Amino acid sequence: MLPVKVWIREVGPRDGLQMEKKFIPTERKVSLIGSLVEAGLKKIEVTSFVNPKAVAQLKDAEEVVRLLKANDQVEFSALVLNKRGMERAVASGIPEVVLVVSATETHSLRNGGRSISQVLQEMSRMARLGAKEGIRLRGAVAVAFGCPFEGEVPVAALERVVGAMSESGSRQITLADTAGLASPVQVRRVLQFFRDQYRDIAWGLHFHDTRGLALVNVYAGLEEGVTLFESSVGGLGGCPFIPNAAGNVATEDLVNMLAMLGLETGVDLEKLVKIAGELESLLGRTLPSRLLRLSEQAGCV
Ligand code: ZN
Protein backbone atom coordinates (compact mmCIF):
# COMPACT_ATOMS: atom_id res chain seq x y z
CA MET A 1 0.00 0.00 0.00
CA LEU A 2 1.47 3.34 -1.09
CA PRO A 3 0.27 6.84 -0.15
CA VAL A 4 -2.19 8.47 -2.54
CA LYS A 5 -0.62 11.92 -2.66
CA VAL A 6 3.08 12.71 -2.43
CA TRP A 7 4.86 16.05 -2.03
CA ILE A 8 8.25 17.02 -3.33
CA ARG A 9 10.39 19.71 -1.78
CA GLU A 10 12.89 20.99 -4.31
CA VAL A 11 16.20 21.74 -2.57
CA GLY A 12 18.34 22.42 -5.66
CA PRO A 13 18.71 26.18 -5.12
CA ARG A 14 20.05 25.44 -1.62
CA ASP A 15 21.55 21.96 -1.27
CA GLY A 16 22.36 21.80 -4.99
CA LEU A 17 24.02 25.13 -5.54
CA GLN A 18 25.96 25.30 -2.25
CA MET A 19 28.60 23.00 -3.75
CA GLU A 20 29.22 25.17 -6.79
CA LYS A 21 32.53 27.00 -6.57
CA LYS A 22 31.84 29.64 -9.20
CA PHE A 23 29.43 32.26 -7.92
CA ILE A 24 26.08 32.13 -9.68
CA PRO A 25 24.59 35.60 -10.04
CA THR A 26 21.64 36.26 -7.71
CA GLU A 27 19.28 37.01 -10.62
CA ARG A 28 20.11 33.61 -12.15
CA LYS A 29 19.30 31.87 -8.86
CA VAL A 30 16.01 33.73 -8.64
CA SER A 31 15.13 32.86 -12.25
CA LEU A 32 15.90 29.18 -11.49
CA ILE A 33 13.47 29.33 -8.56
CA GLY A 34 10.88 31.00 -10.83
CA SER A 35 11.25 28.21 -13.41
CA LEU A 36 10.84 25.57 -10.70
CA VAL A 37 7.61 27.26 -9.58
CA GLU A 38 6.42 27.24 -13.20
CA ALA A 39 7.21 23.53 -13.44
CA GLY A 40 4.71 22.98 -10.61
CA LEU A 41 6.91 22.58 -7.53
CA LYS A 42 4.99 23.74 -4.46
CA LYS A 43 7.75 23.54 -1.85
CA ILE A 44 11.17 25.02 -2.57
CA GLU A 45 14.16 25.49 -0.26
CA VAL A 46 15.63 28.64 -1.73
CA THR A 47 18.82 29.38 0.22
CA SER A 48 20.70 29.08 3.54
CA PHE A 49 21.34 31.68 6.20
CA VAL A 50 24.73 30.29 7.15
CA ASN A 51 28.21 31.78 7.52
CA PRO A 52 29.01 33.37 4.11
CA LYS A 53 32.68 32.49 4.67
CA ALA A 54 31.78 28.80 4.90
CA VAL A 55 29.31 28.75 2.01
CA ALA A 56 30.19 31.70 -0.23
CA GLN A 57 27.77 30.61 -2.96
CA LEU A 58 24.81 31.45 -0.70
CA LYS A 59 26.14 34.74 0.65
CA ASP A 60 23.31 36.47 -1.24
CA ALA A 61 20.58 34.78 0.84
CA GLU A 62 18.85 38.05 1.83
CA GLU A 63 18.89 39.27 -1.76
CA VAL A 64 17.47 35.98 -3.10
CA VAL A 65 14.57 36.14 -0.64
CA ARG A 66 13.97 39.83 -1.42
CA LEU A 67 13.74 39.12 -5.15
CA LEU A 68 11.40 36.11 -4.84
CA LYS A 69 8.09 36.61 -6.56
CA ALA A 70 5.46 36.14 -3.85
CA ASN A 71 3.24 33.16 -4.56
CA ASP A 72 0.73 31.94 -2.00
CA GLN A 73 0.57 28.54 -3.71
CA VAL A 74 4.26 27.86 -3.02
CA GLU A 75 6.04 27.31 0.30
CA PHE A 76 9.45 28.95 0.13
CA SER A 77 11.86 28.04 2.93
CA ALA A 78 15.47 28.62 3.95
CA LEU A 79 17.95 26.67 6.05
CA VAL A 80 19.51 27.83 9.30
CA LEU A 81 21.99 26.19 11.67
CA ASN A 82 21.84 28.55 14.65
CA LYS A 83 20.27 31.59 16.27
CA ARG A 84 22.27 34.05 14.20
CA GLY A 85 20.95 32.38 11.03
CA MET A 86 17.43 32.46 12.44
CA GLU A 87 17.68 36.20 13.11
CA ARG A 88 18.84 36.82 9.54
CA ALA A 89 16.04 34.60 8.21
CA VAL A 90 13.42 36.47 10.28
CA ALA A 91 14.73 39.83 9.04
CA SER A 92 14.63 38.62 5.42
CA GLY A 93 10.90 37.90 5.52
CA ILE A 94 11.16 34.22 4.48
CA PRO A 95 7.92 32.52 5.65
CA GLU A 96 9.41 29.13 6.58
CA VAL A 97 12.69 28.09 8.15
CA VAL A 98 14.28 24.68 8.51
CA LEU A 99 16.64 24.21 11.43
CA VAL A 100 19.21 21.51 10.68
CA VAL A 101 20.75 19.57 13.54
CA SER A 102 23.34 16.84 13.00
CA ALA A 103 22.86 13.41 14.52
CA THR A 104 26.60 13.08 15.27
CA GLU A 105 29.03 15.39 17.09
CA THR A 106 31.72 15.30 14.42
CA HIS A 107 29.35 16.31 11.65
CA SER A 108 27.78 18.95 13.89
CA LEU A 109 31.19 20.53 14.53
CA ARG A 110 32.28 20.39 10.89
CA ASN A 111 28.97 21.54 9.45
CA GLY A 112 28.06 24.30 11.86
CA GLY A 113 31.04 24.69 14.20
CA ARG A 114 29.00 23.78 17.28
CA SER A 115 28.14 20.74 19.38
CA ILE A 116 24.71 19.11 19.25
CA SER A 117 23.98 20.31 22.81
CA GLN A 118 24.78 23.91 21.86
CA VAL A 119 22.37 23.78 18.93
CA LEU A 120 19.64 22.04 20.90
CA GLN A 121 19.96 24.56 23.74
CA GLU A 122 19.24 27.38 21.31
CA MET A 123 16.42 25.59 19.58
CA SER A 124 13.54 26.49 21.87
CA ARG A 125 14.55 30.17 21.81
CA MET A 126 14.68 30.01 18.02
CA ALA A 127 11.26 28.38 17.93
CA ARG A 128 9.83 31.15 20.13
CA LEU A 129 11.38 33.83 17.92
CA GLY A 130 9.92 32.14 14.84
CA ALA A 131 6.48 31.80 16.41
CA LYS A 132 6.48 35.47 17.45
CA GLU A 133 7.26 36.52 13.88
CA GLY A 134 4.73 34.12 12.34
CA ILE A 135 7.40 31.93 10.73
CA ARG A 136 6.84 28.22 10.23
CA LEU A 137 9.73 26.33 11.79
CA ARG A 138 10.48 22.76 10.83
CA GLY A 139 13.36 20.46 11.63
CA ALA A 140 15.82 18.38 9.66
CA VAL A 141 18.29 15.86 11.02
CA ALA A 142 21.57 15.67 9.08
CA VAL A 143 23.53 12.39 8.73
CA ALA A 144 20.43 10.60 10.07
CA PHE A 145 21.24 7.32 8.34
CA GLY A 146 25.01 7.20 8.76
CA CYS A 147 27.92 9.56 9.27
CA PRO A 148 31.09 9.60 7.16
CA PHE A 149 33.10 10.46 10.29
CA GLU A 150 31.42 8.34 12.98
CA GLY A 151 29.87 5.53 10.95
CA GLU A 152 26.59 4.03 12.07
CA VAL A 153 24.13 6.36 13.77
CA PRO A 154 22.31 4.69 16.66
CA VAL A 155 18.55 5.29 16.87
CA ALA A 156 19.13 6.79 20.36
CA ALA A 157 21.28 9.54 18.78
CA LEU A 158 18.54 10.29 16.29
CA GLU A 159 15.91 10.26 18.99
CA ARG A 160 17.80 12.81 21.07
CA VAL A 161 17.52 15.30 18.20
CA VAL A 162 14.01 14.31 17.06
CA GLY A 163 12.72 14.48 20.65
CA ALA A 164 14.14 17.99 21.15
CA MET A 165 12.67 19.14 17.83
CA SER A 166 9.28 17.75 18.73
CA GLU A 167 9.41 19.40 22.18
CA SER A 168 10.25 22.78 20.68
CA GLY A 169 7.15 22.55 18.49
CA SER A 170 8.33 21.17 15.13
CA ARG A 171 5.56 19.13 13.54
CA GLN A 172 7.50 18.47 10.33
CA ILE A 173 10.83 16.68 10.51
CA THR A 174 13.02 15.61 7.61
CA LEU A 175 15.46 12.77 8.09
CA ALA A 176 18.39 13.50 5.79
CA ASP A 177 20.84 10.95 4.42
CA THR A 178 23.43 13.67 3.96
CA ALA A 179 26.26 11.36 2.94
CA GLY A 180 24.16 8.86 0.97
CA LEU A 181 24.76 5.89 3.25
CA ALA A 182 21.18 4.70 3.86
CA SER A 183 19.79 1.32 2.88
CA PRO A 184 16.10 0.54 2.28
CA VAL A 185 15.98 -1.89 5.23
CA GLN A 186 17.37 0.79 7.52
CA VAL A 187 14.92 3.40 6.19
CA ARG A 188 12.01 1.09 6.99
CA ARG A 189 13.34 0.27 10.46
CA VAL A 190 13.98 3.90 11.42
CA LEU A 191 10.59 5.03 10.17
CA GLN A 192 8.75 2.23 11.89
CA PHE A 193 10.40 3.24 15.17
CA PHE A 194 9.70 6.98 14.89
CA ARG A 195 6.22 6.68 13.40
CA ASP A 196 5.09 4.74 16.43
CA GLN A 197 6.89 6.97 18.96
CA TYR A 198 5.95 10.35 17.44
CA ARG A 199 2.51 10.04 15.93
CA ASP A 200 1.93 13.77 15.43
CA ILE A 201 5.03 14.37 13.29
CA ALA A 202 4.87 14.60 9.48
CA TRP A 203 8.05 12.94 8.23
CA GLY A 204 10.08 13.92 5.21
CA LEU A 205 12.99 12.08 3.63
CA HIS A 206 16.08 13.50 1.93
CA PHE A 207 18.42 11.15 0.08
CA HIS A 208 21.74 11.69 -1.63
CA ASP A 209 22.55 9.24 -4.40
CA THR A 210 26.15 8.44 -3.45
CA ARG A 211 25.61 4.68 -3.83
CA GLY A 212 22.81 4.77 -6.38
CA LEU A 213 20.26 3.82 -3.72
CA ALA A 214 18.33 7.06 -3.39
CA LEU A 215 15.24 5.98 -5.37
CA VAL A 216 15.13 2.58 -3.68
CA ASN A 217 15.25 4.38 -0.34
CA VAL A 218 12.41 6.65 -1.47
CA TYR A 219 10.39 3.54 -2.30
CA ALA A 220 11.08 2.11 1.17
CA GLY A 221 9.88 5.43 2.63
CA LEU A 222 6.70 5.29 0.53
CA GLU A 223 5.99 1.80 1.81
CA GLU A 224 6.20 3.22 5.34
CA GLY A 225 3.69 5.93 4.48
CA VAL A 226 6.04 8.91 4.02
CA THR A 227 4.51 11.53 1.73
CA LEU A 228 7.27 14.14 1.46
CA PHE A 229 10.59 13.73 -0.33
CA GLU A 230 13.35 16.22 -1.02
CA SER A 231 15.33 16.31 -4.26
CA SER A 232 17.40 18.59 -6.51
CA VAL A 233 16.71 19.27 -10.17
CA GLY A 234 19.41 17.63 -12.29
CA GLY A 235 20.70 15.71 -9.24
CA LEU A 236 22.74 18.76 -8.24
CA GLY A 237 24.72 18.98 -5.08
CA GLY A 238 26.67 17.26 -2.38
CA CYS A 239 27.88 18.58 0.92
CA PRO A 240 30.94 20.84 1.21
CA PHE A 241 31.66 19.32 4.64
CA ILE A 242 31.45 15.67 3.60
CA PRO A 243 34.08 14.04 1.39
CA ASN A 244 32.72 12.32 -1.76
CA ALA A 245 29.05 12.93 -1.04
CA ALA A 246 27.07 12.81 -4.26
CA GLY A 247 24.16 15.06 -5.15
CA ASN A 248 20.54 14.66 -4.14
CA VAL A 249 18.32 12.30 -6.04
CA ALA A 250 17.35 14.19 -9.21
CA THR A 251 13.85 15.71 -8.96
CA GLU A 252 12.98 14.61 -12.52
CA ASP A 253 14.02 11.01 -11.78
CA LEU A 254 11.93 11.09 -8.59
CA VAL A 255 8.87 12.61 -10.33
CA ASN A 256 9.22 10.03 -13.09
CA MET A 257 9.33 7.11 -10.66
CA LEU A 258 6.36 8.44 -8.70
CA ALA A 259 4.38 8.86 -11.94
CA MET A 260 5.20 5.27 -12.90
CA LEU A 261 3.81 4.21 -9.52
CA GLY A 262 0.61 6.12 -10.27
CA LEU A 263 1.39 8.90 -7.78
CA GLU A 264 0.55 12.39 -8.97
CA THR A 265 2.93 15.18 -7.93
CA GLY A 266 1.62 18.04 -10.07
CA VAL A 267 5.10 18.59 -11.50
CA ASP A 268 5.57 19.04 -15.26
CA LEU A 269 8.30 16.58 -16.16
CA GLU A 270 9.13 18.13 -19.51
CA LYS A 271 9.65 21.58 -17.98
CA LEU A 272 11.78 20.06 -15.22
CA VAL A 273 14.05 18.28 -17.69
CA LYS A 274 14.43 21.52 -19.61
CA ILE A 275 15.52 23.31 -16.41
CA ALA A 276 18.07 20.54 -15.70
CA GLY A 277 19.43 20.91 -19.25
CA GLU A 278 19.81 24.67 -18.82
CA LEU A 279 21.62 24.10 -15.52
CA GLU A 280 24.10 21.81 -17.24
CA SER A 281 24.90 24.59 -19.71
CA LEU A 282 25.19 27.13 -16.90
CA LEU A 283 27.50 24.95 -14.80
CA GLY A 284 29.42 23.58 -17.79
CA ARG A 285 29.31 19.94 -16.75
CA THR A 286 27.19 16.82 -16.97
CA LEU A 287 24.69 16.39 -14.14
CA PRO A 288 23.76 12.98 -12.68
CA SER A 289 20.10 13.10 -13.85
CA ARG A 290 19.05 9.90 -15.68
CA LEU A 291 16.05 11.40 -17.39
CA LEU A 292 18.09 14.21 -18.86
CA ARG A 293 20.26 11.69 -20.75
CA LEU A 294 17.16 9.88 -21.95
CA SER A 295 15.54 13.01 -23.32
CA GLU A 296 18.73 13.96 -25.15
CA GLN A 297 18.58 10.64 -26.96
CA ALA A 298 14.96 11.33 -27.81
CA GLY A 299 16.00 14.75 -29.06
CA CYS A 300 13.49 16.70 -27.01
CA VAL A 301 15.77 18.90 -24.94
ZN1 ZN B 1 21.48 17.19 1.48
Three-state SS for 36? Answer: helix
177 CA → ligand 1 middle, Å: 7
CA distance 205 to 239: 16
Q: What is the CATH classification number for the domain harbouring 71?
A: 3.20.20.70
100-158 pLDDT tens trace? 999 999 999 998 899 999 999 999 889 999 999 999 999 999 999 999 999 999 999 99
190-205 pLDDT tens trace? 999 999 899 999 999 9
Task: Name the pTM for this structure.
Answer: 0.95
In-domain check, residue 1: no
128 CA → ligand 1 middle, Å: 26
Contact 250, 276 (CB under 8 A): yes
239 CA → ligand 1 middle, Å: 7
In-domain check, residue 79: yes
60 closest CA partner among 36, 33, 37: 33
In this prediction, residue 296 has a pLDDT band, given cuts at 50, 70 and 90, of low
165-189 pLDDT tens trace? 999 999 999 999 999 999 999 999 9
What domain range is 179 assigned to? 7-297
In-domain check, residue 243: yes
Catalytic residue among 190, 239, 273, 292: 239
Q: Where are the alpha helices (DSSP H) in 13-144?
A: 26-38, 61-67, 83-92, 105-112, 116-132
In-domain check, residue 2: no
Is-catalytic flag, 300? no
Domain count of the fold of the chain = 1
In-domain check, residue 223: yes
